[in-house]
Amino acid sequence: MQPLLRLPTTDSPRGYAYTAFDSRGIMKRMPSDQAKAVFVARGLTKIYRMGEVEVHALRGIDLTLYQGELVVLLGPSGSGKSTLLNILGGLDAPSGGEVRYLDHTLTGASESELTDFRREHVGFVFQFYNLIPSLTARENVAAVTEISKSPMRPEDALALVGLGNRLDHFPAQLSGGEQQRVAIARALVHDPLLVLADEPTGNLDEDTSRQVLELLDRLTRQAGKNMLMVTHSQDAAAIADRTFCLRDGGLIEKCDS
């Protein structure tokens, strides 16, 4: 498979500098001293109790996400990737530790407060596209705008992902890659600062996966979003500013290839 390419740009978000290169010669953005922390997680734990058995899904996770960066979390199934993503997205609560988003403390927030957080600040992209079969691409994206304060037009969101000519097609009339593009447009239509992607290429073939990853990279750069992507695919690391590994509930920076 052709290697993923970092899309060239002369623009760097405030607080970032292109100062590091990986083993493939791809330039990486690294946070500078002026970079603004958008998400801060400290000492996160998650314990599931199954009868008398305790399963430690997360063990003291510390993670800071800076404005304008794309971070990839690698790890095998069962390593705690999706658990961490759900906690950061306000879909689950940690057993211990603290999560802060900008000047908001999410730990201990009420369900209504978490709902507002998700509605206003977070876009989700999942492995399974979760499109409504009876709605067109335009209608699937428009469904989100009904609960958003200042959404963009569904047509504009679909144009961003290259589907401006497929507005009135139903999911069954779209390829897997096109359906995932609709899901990405749906995640972006309410203009969130944070995009959380859970195995976004898990159901796609290699070539389509590459196209979707490069699309996510481009949209993150152009729109100034923060993206946290969890995956088991090493290919996703090629588009990341920083890459971490989750193993046995612990976070490791600078994963082994």
Residue 174 has pLDDT above 60, yes or no: yes
Query: What's the pTM?
Result: 0.80
Query: Tell me, what's the pLDDT at 46?
Result: 95
**Could you read off the pLDDT of 78-101 as tens digits, one per residue?**
888 889 999 999 999 999 999 999
- Written as six digits, the tokens of 223 are 């729109």
Strands 250-253 and 242-247: antiparallel
**Residue 79 tokens, joined:** 């390593």
> d(Cα 29, Cα 211) in Å, to the nearest integer?
21
Neighbours of 183 (CB within 10 A): 27
DSSP character at residue 238:
G
Higher pLDDT, 1 or 103: 103
pLDDT band at 1 (very low <50, low <70, confident <90, very high): very low
| pLDDT of the residue at 206 | 84
- Residue 126 CB neighbour total at 10 angstroms: 18
pLDDT digits (tens, 9 = 90+) for 187-236: 988 888 899 999 888 888 888 888 888 888 888 777 778 899 998 877 78
pLDDT higher than threshold 80 for residue 28: no
- The C-alpha torsion from 22 through 26 and 31 to 34, rounded to 10°, is 140
Domain 16-253 classification at class level: alpha beta
- For 59, the enclosing helix (H) or strand (E) is strand 53-66
Residue 15 has pLDDT above 80, yes or no: no
30-39, 113-122, 147-156, 208-217: lowest mean pLDDT where?
30-39
Domain residue spans of the chain: 16-253
